[in-house]
Amino acid sequence: MAELSLQGRHALVTGAGSGIGAAIARALVAAGARVTLAGRRREPLEALALELGIEKTFIAGGFDVTDRKAIAAGLDGARAVFGPVDILINNAGDAPSAPFDKTTPDIWNHVLSVDLTGVFNVTQAVLPDLKAYGAGGRIVNIASTAGLMGYPYVSAYCAAKHGVVGLTRALALELAKKGITVNAVCPGFTDTPIIARSIAAIVEKTGRSPEEALAEFTKSNPQGRLVQPEEVAETVLWLTRPTAQSINGQAIAVAGGEVMTG
């Protein structure tokens, strides 16, 4: 159906090399978009580009969301191949765990720099493209249920993701008259390499079995499972379609009922 197609659109996905970012890239390409795969490490981006098709993707390696010069260089390359960006998916992030009293300034600054200021940096760089495109431009920020509630041992992550949700709401109002929508998708614990590393760390530190460690993450989901990256990607895809023009300034939880917004 034409109203569901993203044919001719150019989407930029940060943190595209694995997990949720890779799933989003797959969904966007399947819907007809050309996708710039942005990330710091080139190898996983190259593997994903081969999977999706070289003609449908551009690799922006060395794309560090904390480095405005690296962002500018990546965007210059992407625009030269596919033209201006009209769909932006801010997905890059990091989630180290530590008790609050052991959260060092370095940890705090790193998480806020990547997870919050990174969204600021990339959005500012892409905004001229989106404004030129006008109605139909899309920004989707991958936040977290940690942007809607609190979790122990990830205070910096919660602070950053609450900031992403606030930034989303402010931008949605600023850009509404131009027809650009800005929304946040807030996954619960999702089956990604970050969760795999967290489970391994719990096993190493506590001696629990992998199954017991996994249960720490699934117990908060009323469905008793991890969210799948493809489920998050489908929500993002819906928000980028022309039929979602009236969805703006929302923080949509994808968490099996853990968080109910109203």
What are the tens digits of pLDDT across the range 91-131?
999 998 899 999 999 999 999 999 999 999 999 999 999 99
Is 1's pLDDT higher than 60?
A: no
CA-CA distances (angstroms) from residue 183 to 198, 209, 259? 28, 38, 17
Q: Taking a C-beta distance cutoff of 8 angstroms, is the pair 94, 21 a contact?
A: no
Specify the pTM.
Answer: 0.94
Q: Is 133 labeled as catalytic in the residue annotation? A: no
Q: Taking a C-beta distance cutoff of 8 angstroms, is the pair 35, 13 a contact?
A: yes
Q: How far apart are CA 147 and CA 159, in angstroms?
A: 7
Residue 114 per-residue DSSP state: I
Looking at residue 241, its pLDDT comes to: 96
Q: Helices (H) and strands (E) in the chain — how many of each?
A: 9, 7
At residue 254's C-alpha, the angle toward residues 248 and 260, to 5°, is 80
Instruction: Write down the catalytic residue from 133, 151, 153, 157.
Output: 157
Q: How far apart are CA 79 and CA 35, in angstroms?
A: 11
Looking at residue 192, its pLDDT comes to: 87
Q: What length does the chain have?
A: 262
Is 2's pLDDT higher than 70?
A: no
